[in-house]
Amino acid sequence: MQSYSIEVTGLTQQVQDAGGVLSILDNIGFRVERGESLAIMGSSGSGKSTLLGLLAGLDVPTSGQVRLLGHDLFTLGEEARAAIRANHVGFVFQTFQLLPNLTALENVMLPLELRGIAQARTLAHAALARMGLESRLQHYPRTLSGGEQQRVSLARAFVQRPDVLFADEPTGSLDAANGEKVADLLFGQVAEQGSTLILVTHDAALAARCDRILTLQGGRLIN
């Protein structure tokens, strides 16, 4: 078994704008052990979300390498990268990314159904119950509070028992009380399932709950 969930080497992302070449990420390198929780911090525009997208294989860099669970992502085509994400990766976003025409239960069932898992309904029901949402199974996102929507998105991410979870500002749009509740559920499920957590956040208190913090400044790692 690979000892690292993620290995990053020489990761660089550049774009061309009116002023010439803009470097968004510059020669980034680090490793994340299996089961480790890592926070990525930095001001707006420092490259955090770009880095997260590259780590998940959602984008292709100008140069450099990301090995995710032993797979060299950028030697693979998009279909192969998508298959790795579908089978091994979970996502939690600041904006929840729930499908508005599906109930809470159906949103959580969807990734399981796409994988052809027969017990999708039972597993999704149990995942929502763990989030304290058993009474909200048939509610649509528009009828749920922000905190409840984020708990649905956590259930959707963890129902697949992901090897790696990418969380992009998961408490960023929540008030303090709901943010703390979501953070407790997030870290509780990470510990229970043994998932590797990559967390992008502006929240120093949330980042401090991780095993390690990396800070980006101007596209470079400064620690």
What pLDDT, in 10s, does the model give residues 9-60? 999 999 888 878 888 999 999 999 999 999 999 988 888 989 999 999 999 9
Query: pLDDT tier at 1 (50, 70, 90 boundaries)?
Result: low
Q: Kindly report, residue by residue over 160-173, the tens digit of the pLDDT.
A: 999 999 999 999 88
Strands (E), 99-211: 164-168, 196-200
Please tell me the distance from the alpha carbon of residue 172 to that of residue 96, in angstroms, as a whole number.
11
Q: Determine what percent of the chain is predicted with pLDDT higher than 70.
A: 99
pLDDT, position 22? 84
Map residue 26 onto helix, strand or coil. strand
- Domain 36-57+88-221 fold is Rossmann fold (3.40.50)
In the block, residue with structure tokens 């976003």: 93
Q: Kindly report, residue by residue over 187-219, the tens digit of the pLDDT.
A: 999 999 999 999 999 899 999 999 999 999 988
Map residue 37 onto helix, strand or coil. strand
pLDDT, position 2? 63
Average pLDDT over every residue of 130-139 = 95
Give the domain ranges of the chain: 36-57+88-221
Which two tokens mark 175? 């008030």
pLDDT, position 113? 94
pLDDT, position 3? 81
